[in-house]
Every structure is written in structure tokens, then in C-alpha cells.
Structure 1
Amino acid sequence: MASSTFVLYHYTPTLIGAVVFAVLFFLTTAFHLYQRIRAHAKYFNPFIVGGIFQIIGYAARAVSHFHTTATTLYAMQTLFILLAPTLYAASIYMVLGRIITSLKGEHLSYVPVRFMTKIFVMGDVLSFVLQGAGGGVMSSSGSANLLVVGQWIIVGGLCVQLVFFGAFLITSIIFNCRIIRSPTEESQISVASGLIPRDWRGLLFALYTVSVLILIRSIYRVVEFVQGNNGYVIGHEVFLYVFDASMMFLVMIVMNVFHPSVVLRSNNTPGTKEPQGSPAESKLTSAELQC
């Protein structure tokens, strides 16, 4: 197994933490796979691949506990953990377009729906490529100069992710406010009650939640790589588990609970119809839908 004379870790990677998160990501990813198969939700394939990336990344990190100078293991855990959120983002972008289409609210979207998924996913692909390239340069670098170059390429990819996620949140919020002010007929059908309703409103809330979690994680990563290989953040493993592992596990759990297929299944499964509630539940007045 190839080894490096550079200091890859400023600590010995915790075995317990890596194993625990590898298992947690395995469990939530397995459940996502079950939900995807049951609902035929092809748009969630990237999300599931992101979960697999996390499993591989933390498994490699667990083995790194015993081989702290192994560059192959370092590269695996760095790249797979780093790239997983961009795959989550791809599915999240596609879900928003499907929500808007299912509510017949295309005219209320700031970004034309026919371009929405393409624009955001293209930004996501650019972020993925930059982070992957930077991680590859950094993990296999033979000099300190290349290590720094790789870190700044990753920072560029993370900044692209932040820009597109920010634009995505703004687009979502604008649509949300517009459809509340001018509800479509579809947005008033079978609107569930509760603090967090299990309908398009709840699904939008879930998208906001996971987007904020990914933004926090991306900001942490920007700080980490801007500080460099000798920085305070990268030198303390606790930051990885608080601001990356925990945040991304919550992302997967939130989407387990608010799986898009609950709202979008009529679009995913031909011939099925959304169950209708009682007359009192099927329609809401404009006053009840105000922000």
C-alpha cells in the first residue's frame, strides 16, 4: 500500500467515529434504496449514490486508523466524503422542479422550469468536477506546492456549490411565497394539516432544511481548505464529525422522513391517483394559506 512522507493527518483518525458513521450511512442509504424502488423515484438515484460514497469514505477512514500514511486510503476517504453532498444536491434540484410541475405553478417560478433542473444540475456537475479534480491533485500530490493547488481547486468547487445552492434557495422561497399568495387549484387539493404537513409544503420545508445543512457543511469545508493543511480546522477531527458527518447524516434522515415520493408519487407511477381527503381538507381559502 502506497505511503506518503507528508503528514496526511495531524491526528490518528478515530476508529469508533468512522465505524459508527459508516454503519449509520449504510442504514439510511439502504432505506433510501427501498423507498426509491417502491416509488420508482429515479430522480433520487444520485442521492443514493451519495449515500454509498459516504459509506465507502468512512469505511476507508476507519481503515486509515491503522494506516495513517497510506495515500490510497487517504485519497479514498477524502474524495468520497467530499463529493457525496454534490450528489445529494443533484436530486434536491430535481425535486423542486417536480414540485412546481405537479402544482401547475410554472408561471410562478422565477426560473423557467424547463431550464431549472439543467441550470442547477450543470452547476452541480461543475462543482463535482472541480472538487474531484482538486481532491485528486491534493491526495496524490508529491509536493507541497501541488497540495496547495489542489486545496484551492477544491475551494473553487465549494464556492460554485455555495453560489448555486444560494440561488436554489432564493428560487424556492420566491416560488413558495408566490404560490401562497396566488394558489393554484392543485396546491389546494389534499393539503394535509399539522405542524409540518406531509404535502408539498412539508416537502419544501424539507428541501430548505437539507439545503441549509449542506450550506453549513460547505462553509465549513471552505474554511478548512482556505486555512490549508496546517490550519486549525483540518488539524482537529471533531470538526469533520460535527460539521460534515453529522450534517450529511441529518440530510439523509430528513429525506427519509419527507421522501418526495409521498407527494410526487402520482407523477412517478402512471395510473395512480392522489387520495382525496374530506371536503373540509381538500380546499383551503387564500386567507389560510397566507405566509
Structure 2
Amino acid sequence: MQEIIPRSYTFWYYVPSLPAAVIFMLIFMALTGLHSWKLFTTRTWFCIAFTLGGLFEIIGYIGRAVAHSNTTTMGPYIVSSIFVLLGPTLFAASIYMTLGRLIRYIGAEHLSFIRVSRLTKTFVWGDVLSFIVQGNSSSLSILGYPQWAKVAVVGGLAIQLISFSLFWLTAIIFERRVRRQPTPESLLPGTLWKKSLYMLYAVSALIMIRSIFRVIEYVMGNSGYPLQHEWTLYIFDSVPMAIVMVIFFIWYPSELKARPDFEAHVPLAHVYSKV
């Protein structure tokens, strides 16, 4: 028979900290506000998923704040778990699209390990799959299948880790090829493609660390240390994701736009003389 979760079931092995939840809710509100301003002023529309990821984080920590005095209520637990879990998946979508834009920006499509026309689609579809699989964990919990919900979360996080590993491999191979065979666009003064690439390395590494922590957390289960101690969530999830938003904002990829007037305004002989 289907397991029925009793009304008095406690979803938390601790009382969620109200101050911590409010502090991170305010941090993500501020960061999401900054990203929204950046998004609309620069019209960098491929970063809209990143901003939505910040909104998910805000909703998740509102759920944790409400759960402080409602530890036996399913609603705040589901809202907190699913929105904090899925926020980084939306960050990843914009991160993947940024690499494709960067490659086109310096005219290095021929140096990409994966054909650029397929690169963004490949990683974003993997991200969508991860989002769907992890998102279904909440419905499985509500229906009384906590074990299947756990499998869904771990499966979704595993897909995310595989995607980021391939993303790193693609980016590293691309960088090495560009250094060996620089394109004229990559040699232009003021071109920030290297900083943008290093930014992608940094934010993707932080999300990978967070995803590894989440996999460990769910694999260890309710009796494991992470799910029984709240500080682990804030140190290995909340803080890294806030740093991701800060880094992405500072090195916002708004400059990664096409340069249709490149050949008309830049003498190629001058560029090639620097090779």
C-alpha cells in the first residue's frame, strides 16, 4: 500500500533558522534586483534565466523563513526544497548560452570542440532535463513516495554534474585552441573574452561544488549529517550561489554581441601583425 505521511510528520531535523533565512532572502533580493537592472539596461536577454534563478532563490528562502514556525507543514518544506534546489539550474542555462555567445563573439566557431550551432542546444537541453527531473521530486514527495523523490533529485543533480563536466572540457579545449590559433577578433584591444571565459570557469566550478554537496546530502539520507545540520546548506549551497551571482554580475557578459562592422573598422593587417 502507498505510504501515507502522517499529519504530525516533521520534515526538518532542526528548526530552520529565521535570521539566516531572512538574511539570505535579502541578499538574493538585492542581487536579483541588480541582475534585473543589468538585464534590462544592457538588453542581454540570454541572461534572463539567470535572473529567474535569483527569483527562485528568493522564494526558496521565504519558504525557509515561513518553515521556522511551521516545521510540520508540508507547504513551506516543499517551497523551500524545490526552489532552492532549482535556482542553480536556471543559472546554468545562462552560463551555457554565454559560452556559445563568446565563441561567436571572437569568430572562433571553427575552434569549438562541439559545433556551435549544437553547443548551446546540447547543454541547455541537458539543463532542461535536469530541471524537469529535479522538479518532479516535489510531486513525488506530496504523493507519498519520498524514496522516489530522492532518486529524482540525485538523478537530476547527476545530469547537471555530467553537463558541467562536459562544459568544462569543451571550454578548456576551446581556450587552448584559441591560444594556439588566435582569431583576429580575439586580438582586438579591449576584448574581454578571456575574462568572460575565466568567469564561466569560476561560476561553473561553484555550481559543481554545490551539486556534489547536494548529491552527498541526498545519498546519505535523513540520517546523514548534512540533512541534520542546517549550517551545511548555507555553507555549501547558499554562500556559493550568492558568490555566483556576484561574479556573474561583475563580469556580466553584455559585451558578447556580434561585431558586424569588424572588418570595416579594423585593418586586418594591423591585427595580424600582432599574431
Q: Same fold (TM over 0.5)?
A: yes
Deviating beyond 2 angstroms after TM superposition, the runs of 4 or more aligned structure 1 residues are 2-7, 270-273, 281-286
Residues 1:51 and 1:66: Cα distance change in structure 2 (over 3 Å): same
Q: CA offsets, 1:60-86, max 9 Å, x none?
A: 101111111110110000000000011
Of 216, 220, 224 in structure 1, the residue corresponding to residue 213 of structure 2 is 220
Residue-by-residue CA offset, 1:207-227 (whole Å, 9 max, x unaligned): 000000000000000000001
After superposition, where does 1:179-218 map in structure 2 within 5 Å? 179-191=178-190, 199-218=192-211
Distance, in Å, in 2 between the alignment partners of 1:271 and 1:106 is 16
- 1:164 equivalenced with 2:160 (yes/no): no
* Matched-pair contact (CA < 8 Å) for 1:11–1:235: yes
Aligned to 2:134: 131
Contact 1:28 1:253 in 2 (8 A): yes
SS class of match (2:246): helix
Residues 131-176 of structure 1 deviation map (CA, whole Å, 9 limit, x = unaligned): 01123313x243xxx1111101110110000000000011011101
Instruction: Specify whether residues 4 and 177 from structure 1 end up closer, same or farther in structure 2 by C-alpha distance, changes over 3 A only.
Output: farther
The one of 39, 45, 48 aligned to 1:45: 48
Contact 1:190-1:282 at 8 Å conserved across structures: no
Shift of residue 284, structure 1, vs aligned partner: 8.5
User: Take 2:56 and 2:48, find their aligned partners in 1: how far apart are those partners?
Assistant: 12
2:176 aligned residue: 177
The residue matched to 1:234 in structure 2 has which SS?
Answer: helix
- What letter is aligned with 1:123? G
> What corresponds to 1:155 in structure 2?
154
Q: What residue identity is the alignment partner of 1:222? A: V
RMSD (Å) for aligned C-alpha atoms: 2.2
> Which residue of 2 is the match for residue 195 of structure 1?
none
Q: Deviations over 1:94-130 (max 9, x none)?
A: 0000000011000000000000111000000000001
Structure 1 position 12, deviation (Å): 0.3
Which whole-Å CA distance do the structure 2 matches of 1:126 and 1:52 have between them? 20
How many pairs were matched up? 266
In the alignment, the residues of structure 1 paired with residue 82 and residue 237 of structure 2 have an alpha-carbon distance, to the nearest angstrom, of 13
Equivalent pair of 2:184/2:271 in contact (CA under 8 Å): no
Secondary structure of the 2:189 match is: coil
In 2 relative to 1, CA 67–114 (structure 1 residues): closer, same or farther, beyond 3 Å?
A: same
Match of 2:233 among 229, 240, 249: 240
The amino acid of 1:185's aligned partner reads: P
Determine the structure 2 residue equivalent to 1:57.
60
CA distance in 2, matches of 1:57, 1:229: 20
Letter of the structure 2 residue corresponding to residue 32 of structure 1: H
Contact 1:3–1:69 under 8 Å retained in 2: no
AA aligned opposite 1:27: A
Q: Is the alpha carbon distance of 1:185 and 1:15 closer, same or farther for their aligned partners in structure 2, counting shifts above 3 Å?
A: same
| Structure 1 residues 185 and 10: CA distance shift in structure 2, 3 A | same
Compute the TM-score of the two structures, normalised by the length of structure 1.
0.87
Aligned to 2:15: 12
Deviation at 1:271, TM superposition (A): 8.4
2:62 and 2:273 map into 1 onto residues whose CA distance is 49
Q: 10, 23, 26: which is aligned to 1:23?
A: 26
Confirm or deny that 1:108 pairs with 2:111.
yes
State the 1:3 CA deviation. Answer: 8.3
Residues 75 and 189 of structure 1: CA distance in aligned 2, closer, same or farther (over 3 Å)? same
TM-score w.r.t. length of structure 2: 0.91
Q: Percent identity?
A: 41
* Structure 1 equivalent of residue 85 of structure 2: 82
Structure 2 unaligned runs (5+)? none
Task: Give the unaligned 5+ runs of structure 1.
Answer: 193-198, 287-291
* Alpha-carbon distance between aligned partners in 2 of 1:251 and 1:79, rounded to the nearest angstrom: 19
Give 1:98's aligned amino acid. R
